[in-house]
Amino acid sequence: MSAPTCGNGSPATTTTPIRRSGAGTTSGSHPAFAHWSIEGEIGSISCPLLAMQGIDDEYGTLQQIRAIARRVPRAVLVELPQCGHSPHRDQPESVIDEVTRFVDAHAVTTKSLPAHQPAA
């Protein structure tokens, strides 16, 4: 059996754990999060996903968000400059712009939906 791949043909696996840095690292994360990971949860995501992170995030790493983008075929990655762990607080206008762009790009209009069929 071949290794799973993303929609672009790249490997769906990564050597970068998608988890918070644990105690004793430079991130200063709480020890309760040392082994927290979303790796087992993201493989089944097939809808468009906006993954946004501040470049200066003091808790997460860009490798983590890039690993998400490699594993989720329809992920859109946004790395915000001069932004820490809370993009909505640090770069509110940029977040609004990116979310608006993402929603506009993936909007479903009522014309593309099937007509409602009343229950019999």
pLDDT in tens, 77-89: 999 999 999 999 9
- Averaged over 107-111, what is the pLDDT? 72
- Is the pLDDT score of 19 beyond 60? no
* Rounded Cα–Cα distance for residues 4 and 2 (Å): 6
> Average pLDDT over the chain, rounded to whole?
76
Per the DSSP assignment, residues forming a β-bridge with 78 are: 52
CB 4 within 8 A of CB 12: yes
pLDDT at 34: 72
More confident residue, 31 or 104: 104
pLDDT at 48: 93
Closest CA to 14 of 58, 72, 60: 72
Tell me the pLDDT tens digit for each residue of 66-79: 999 889 999 999 99
Q: Sign of the C-alpha dihedral, residues 4, 6, 8, 10?
A: negative
pLDDT at 36: 74
pLDDT at 5: 37
pLDDT cut 70: percent of the chain above it: 65
* Rounded Cα–Cα distance for residues 42 and 1 (Å): 21
- Domains of the chain by range and CATH? 1-105 (3.40.50.1820)
Locate 10 and state its tokens.
């790249």
- Averaged over 49-59, what is the pLDDT? 93
